[in-house]
Amino acid sequence: MTASQTTEVVVRLRDIGKTFPGVIANHDVNIDVKSGTVHAIVGENGAGKSTLMKILYGVQKPDSGTIEIHGNQVSLGSPADAIKAGVGMVFQHFMLADNLTVLENVVLGAEKRHGIGGAARDEIKRLSQAYGLDIDPDVRVEELGVGARQRIEILKVLYRGASIIILDEPTAVLVPQEVDELFGNLRELKAEGLAVIFISHKLDEVLSVADEVTVIRRGATIDTVDASSVDARQLAEMMVGSELPNPSTSESTVTDQAVLEVRDLHLDGAGRALLDDIAFTIHKGEILGIAGVEGNGQAELVEAIMGMRPAATGTVTVNGRELGDSSTRKRRESGIAYIPADRHRHGLLLDSPLWENRILGHQTREPNVNGPFIDRKMARKDTERILEEYDVRTPGIDVLARALSGGNQQKFIIGREMSDTPDLLIAGHPTRGVDVGAQSAIWGHIKRARAEGLAVLLISADLDELIGLSDTIRVILRGKLVGEFDPATVTPKQLGSAMTGASE
Amino acid sequence: MTNATLKRLSLVIGAPVLALVTAFLITSLVLAVAGDSVSGVWGQILSLPTPRGYVNIINSATVYYLSAVAVAIGFRMNLFNIGVDGQYRIASFVAAIVAGEAWLPGYLNTVFAVLAAMLVGAAWAGIAGILRVTRGVSEVISTIMLNAIATVVVAYFLRKAAVEHKGSNTIATKEIPEGSRVPGFTWSEDVPAKIYGFVLVAILVGILYWVIINKTRFGFDLRATGLSETAAVASGIDVKRMVLVSMLLSGAIAGLVGMPLLFGNDYSYGSTFQSGLGFAGIAIALLGRNHPVGIALGALLFAFLDEQSNPLQILLDVSPDIVKITQGVIVLTVVIAYEVVRRNGIRLEQRSVANALEDEAPKEEVKA
């Protein structure tokens, strides 16, 4: 793990501070990144990692503190300044034009470096060769997979002359096999003397690739440690500052009473079927996990069950009653609770107070309504109950939903959906983008409801969550259910293969 | 928290005040550039209205109010009903014919004609609603088109339905019989003009609007759809149905817009019937933030500016159209000011949430 060249400190952050109203700020951030190393920055969601990296990439200006790059103190007013200083960033969401070639994407905005023709092509080939990126400059981006696209983003940064590369949660979009390839690339980069800053909250990955690890908690750097001297548990405890949550459920509570039965579910899309021949059963007290790379039909499956996709064909039966073409409202009333994957778009009225959000999705049910009228008093009282029982941290029920943190919004939604003791819960990414504390609380609520006989359809991108919570795991690939796994024995690697179709 | 609430309140009141001041300054600038007397114009506009002026202000505010509520119903749903103008004109025309024919005696005739107006207004708006839910046609486009169509349809049928009026070369429908006209209220003994009896209807509409939007399940669904269509769908609201119903409601209220004029002043629908009220309604709904009281204040302000600017031509040789500039700038600045206030409000709230949780944090950590 020792770097081949002499290492020097290329990035020196001192006492960086940044305040935003209502958002966790950075304060007292001190980091030294050495050349020829992979330096990981870990922390919970919302700990301030992204803000810090935006500061280093010139997107945001710090309120206090100094940034030194290659020994010179710099003031980064824009990403252009950062690139000039040798800092490049690969964002989690790729910024590539699908209908252009790799070459065109790479030179776009950097035409001055090597032109847009042969010289640029040669440079791309040279970089691809030197860092083992395996990129053909003349392929269209739309023909490439996620892993290759990420390598193009890295190549774009190198092409612009960066010697310090920031990768923001690069593995979030990759399956395990692609992660291994990426790490191979990162090792090449560091062998060439570059500094790689790797942001993640997946600790096993961090430990497998990083040389040094800086832990951030509540906006401040807690410590920088040598990756070989710690294990995941120690890192996690530094991140959280307390005991760790664990998704695993205790013994099985599965019964033989079917709650949700889906048969022959089919939904046509443009060109190919979005859902094809989907069939499964979930019993009382059972959690069925659906694994899959995003965009393989998970959203459509949920929406078909919720009655939001009238074009879907096939039968959906809940508690022995076929839903037919009944409306979303009817389905909700019949005992289906729904935690949408995108809570901002589907789960909340962001600009309405919490007590009005209590009513959302339950507009026809007590205690929210009284005949055709909203029962303001009872709805408010019941909102207080949810805040109390589900530990939603907010000063009051008149606060706009937007003002809450992601974790608290999600706890609130779960409290709301559990209000009428549903028989079936459809949960899309229930812990996405929430902090560890809220995550463990949410897992706790789902486990408890399962023990009380709730049937759950769990869609998640977090394989640990799926393996920990589910009684059965099915994999969805291009709209079809392709495999069934026992969470007691399956590994993330096996799931990854099934998710990409590699096992077929 | 109380401090934050206070601050937020001051922001909410500050927005319209800021808009008014800006409008005042820009209008002054225009006057100065044109070489007109700035102080003279404002001296007239900001003077106390004449007794007769009060009556005129209340009367035109009544009409504006109905128009703005019609628009506001759409706005709460994120629907932009630009077609209130066409809806009220075609509705007024039909109501004038129904009332003029007097198939029913006395006030029964009035009620029947008003219902006919609401029905026609709703139907005209409903065309846009149906196009939107079945074919995805933007209601902005279709209602603009329907305005133009309403103009020619009314002109065409007016020619057929018109009757001779002695001593006048304008054409109009048959006059409404005396017994079906709606009497007004006397402001003071020296003013012959009366306040429209329909002012009561406008107040009633305002109250109903408030109750339906804020207190009922239907109103909740409507607001939820306006705030986030995606969340509305996920919560089980039939958004298409809501679009159609709110277009119909908006159109029905639009149908009422011409009624104060028809039954309290004109007594027939002719080529001189007041037009453009639907567009004023859009501006006033924006100014009043779709709130029933805010809209009332906005309607009174617009009516006040209209009335006070009337003598400008005679007194100062300045076109009264100068207040149109003021009104336009008010609307523009108020939209900007409200957005600023909204963002500040969110920031304030996030800060207060963060502060409140900071105090709590150590205690919670022990628990976790």
Q: Where do the structural domains in chain A lie, given as residue ranges?
A: 9-240, 245-335+423-433+450-504, 341-419
B116 is written with which tokens?
A: 């006919």
Tell me which CATH homologous superfamily contains domain A9-240: P-loop containing nucleotide triphosphate hydrolases (3.40.50.300)
Q: Is residue B107 part of a domain?
A: yes
B252 and B342 belong to one structural domain: no
Query: Whose structure tokens read 């309140």?
Result: B9
Residue type, A267: L
In angstroms, the separation between the Cα of residue B78 and the nearest Cα of chain A is 14
Q: What is the pLDDT of residue B310?
A: 87
B288 and B341 belong to one structural domain: no
Quick one: average pLDDT of B26-55?
Answer: 89
Q: Give the number of other CB atoms < 10 A from CB of residue A188.
A: 14
Q: What is the pLDDT of residues B233-291, one digit of tens each?
A: 999 999 999 999 999 999 999 999 999 999 998 888 988 888 889 999 999 999 888 99
Interface of A with B in 329-358 (CB under 8 A): 329-333, 338, 340, 342, 345-352, 356
B174 and B87 belong to one structural domain: yes
Q: Is residue B41 part of a domain?
A: no
Which residue is closest to A352 within chain B, CA to CA? B227
Q: Do domains A9-240 and A245-335+423-433+450-504 have the same CATH topology?
A: yes
B75 is written with which tokens?
A: 């706005």
Query: How many domains, chain B?
Result: 2
Q: What is the pLDDT of residue A301?
A: 94
- The answer on pLDDT for A246 being more than 70 is no
Give, as one character, the DSSP assignment of residue A472. Answer: E
Q: What is the pLDDT of residue B82?
A: 93
B223 and B335 belong to one structural domain: no
Q: Is residue B43 part of a domain?
A: no
Distance from the first to the final alpha carbon of chain A: 36
Q: How far is Cα of residue B138 from the mean position of the Cα atoms in its chain?
A: 21
User: A328 and B236: CB-CB below 8 Å?
Assistant: yes
Residue in A351, A305, A276 with CA at minimum distance from that of residue A457: A305
Q: Is residue B367 part of a domain?
A: no
B237 and B333 belong to one structural domain: no
Q: What is the pLDDT of residue A203?
A: 77
Option in B219, B224, B236 nearest A349 (CB): B224
Distance from the first to the final alpha carbon of chain B: 26
In percent, the amount of chain A with pLDDT more than 90 equals 25
Q: What confidence tier does B364 reach under pLDDT thresholds 50, 70, 90?
A: very low
Q: Is residue B271 part of a domain?
A: yes
B138 and B212 belong to one structural domain: yes
B323 and B221 belong to one structural domain: no
Residue in B91, B270, B92 with CA at minimum distance from that of residue B172: B270
C-alpha distances (whole Å) from A172 to each of A152, A200, A248, A296 are 17, 8, 21, 16
User: B353 and A328: CB-CB below 8 Å?
Assistant: no
User: A372 and B217: CB-CB below 8 Å?
Assistant: yes
Contacts of B223 in chain A (CB under 8 A): 352
Q: What confidence tier does B357 reach under pLDDT thresholds 50, 70, 90?
A: low
Preferred mutation among B212, B213, B222, B228 to probe A, highest tally of A CBs within 10 A: B228
- The answer on pLDDT for B352 being more than 90 is no
B110 and B217 belong to one structural domain: yes
Return the minimum-mean-pLDDT range out of A80-84, A115-119, B84-88: A115-119
User: B233 and A241: CB-CB below 8 Å?
Assistant: no
In angstroms, the separation between the Cα of residue B342 and the nearest Cα of chain A is 10
Tell me which CATH homologous superfamily contains domain A245-335+423-433+450-504: P-loop containing nucleotide triphosphate hydrolases (3.40.50.300)
ipTM above 0.85, yes or no: no
Contacts of A21 in chain B (CB under 8 A): 347-348, 350-351, 354
Q: Is residue B366 part of a domain?
A: no
Q: Is residue B287 part of a domain?
A: yes
In angstroms, the separation between the Cα of residue A214 and the nearest Cα of chain B is 22
Q: Which residue, of B250, B277, B293, is where some domain finishes? A: B293
User: What are residue B291's phi and psi, to 5 degrees?
Assistant: -95, 135
Residue in A236, A243, A187, A225 with CA at minimum distance from that of residue A38: A187
Which residue is closest to A25 within chain B, CA to CA? B354
User: B352 and A359: CB-CB below 8 Å?
Assistant: no
A259 is written with which tokens?
A: 């709650």
Return the minimum-mean-pLDDT range out of A168-182, A302-316, A458-472, B150-164: A168-182
Quick one: average pLDDT of B195-217?
Answer: 94
User: What are residue B294's phi and psi, to 5 degrees?
Assistant: -60, -40
Say if residues A333 and A361 touch (Cβ distance below 8 Å).
no
C-alpha distances (whole Å) from A18 to each of A49, A85, A87, B15, B129 are 12, 21, 20, 30, 49
- ∠ CA A146-A149-A151, nearest 5°, is 115
Which residue is closest to A305 within chain B, CA to CA? B234
Quick one: average pLDDT of B326-347?
Answer: 84
Residues 6+ apart with CB under 8 A from B152: none
In percent, the amount of chain A with pLDDT more than 70 equals 94
Does the model's pTM come out above 0.90? no
- The answer on pLDDT for A48 being more than 80 is no
Interface of A with B in 427-446 (CB under 8 A): 437
Option in B230, B346, B347 nearest A345 (CB): B230
User: B236 and A327: CB-CB below 8 Å?
Assistant: yes
B349 and B283 belong to one structural domain: no
Domain that holds residue B349: 1-36+318-354
Which residue is closest to B346 within chain A, CA to CA? A403
The CATH number that applies at residue B139 is 1.10.3470
- The answer on pLDDT for A359 being more than 80 is yes
User: How high does pLDDT run on average in chain A?
Assistant: 85
B183 and B217 belong to one structural domain: yes
The answer, for A363 touching chain B at a CB cutoff of 8 Å, is yes
Say if residues A82 and A57 touch (Cβ distance below 8 Å).
yes
In angstroms, the separation between the Cα of residue B272 and the nearest Cα of chain A is 43
Q: How many CB pairs under 8 A join A and B?
A: 119
B29 and B60 belong to one structural domain: no
- The answer on pLDDT for B59 being more than 90 is yes
Is the previous residue joined to B320 through a cis bond, with omega within 30 degrees of 0?
Answer: no
B81 and B191 belong to one structural domain: yes
Contacts of B221 in chain A (CB under 8 A): 363
Say if residues A318 and A257 touch (Cβ distance below 8 Å).
no
User: B234 and A340: CB-CB below 8 Å?
Assistant: yes
Option in B233, B349, B365 nearest A400 (CB): B349
Q: Give the number of other CB atoms < 10 A from CB of residue A72.
A: 8
